[in-house]
A and B are shown apart, each in its own frame.
Chain A
Amino acid sequence: MVAHAEAHLDHHEEHPPEPHYSSRISPSILGMYLFIGSEIMLFGSFFTAYFFVRVVNGVAWPTPPFHLPVYMAFINTLILVTSSFTMHWALTSVKKGNVFGLRAGLLLTFLMGLTFLITQVTEYLRIGFNTGDGAFPTIFFCLTGLHGCHVFVGLTILLFMTIRAFRGHFSPDHHHGVEIGGIYWHFVDVMWILVFLTVYII
Chain B
Amino acid sequence: MARNPFRSESEMFRFLGVVIVAAVLIAIGAWINVWVGVVVAVLAVAGIVWWLLQEPVPGTAEPAPKLASQTPAGTHRVLVVAPPGTTSVQVGDAATEVVVIVPALASKLEAATGAVDDRRAEAEQTALSLTRSLSRDGRSVRGEVGADNPVLAVEDALRTFGADEVLVAGDEAWVDDIRARVAVPVRHA
Check if A2 sits within 8 Å of B137, measured CB to CB.
yes
Interface presence of B4 (CB below 8 A): yes
Bound Cα distance from A68 to B23, whole angstroms: 19
Q: A9-B144, A91-B9, A186-B12 are in contact. Are A81 and B27 (CB under 8 A)?
A: no
Number of A-B contacts (CB under 8 A): 114
Instruction: Name the interface residues of A1-58: CB closer than 8 Å to any CB of B.
Output: 1-10, 20-24, 29, 32, 36
Q: Shortest beta-carbon distance, B27 to chain A, in Å?
A: 5
Check if B144 sits within 8 Å of A24, measured CB to CB.
no
**Within 8 Å CB of A4, what residues of B?**
135, 139-141
Interface presence of A113 (CB below 8 A): no
Main secondary structure of the interface of B (DSSP, over half): helix
Q: Mark A175-199, 1 if CB is under 8 A from B, else 0.
A: 0001100110011011001001100
Check if A3 sits within 8 Å of B136, measured CB to CB.
yes
Check if B9 sits within 8 Å of A88, measured CB to CB.
yes
**Within 8 Å CB of B159, what residues of A?**
23
**Central interface residue in B13, B20, B147, B159, by most chain A CB within 10 Å:** B13
Interface presence of B65 (CB below 8 A): no
Check if A81 sits within 8 Å of B8, measured CB to CB.
no
**Central interface residue in A1, A5, A20, A87, by most chain B CB within 10 Å:** A5
Q: List 7 A-B contacts (CB under 8 A).
A: A2-B137, A3-B139, A8-B144, A22-B147, A23-B147, A187-B6, A196-B23
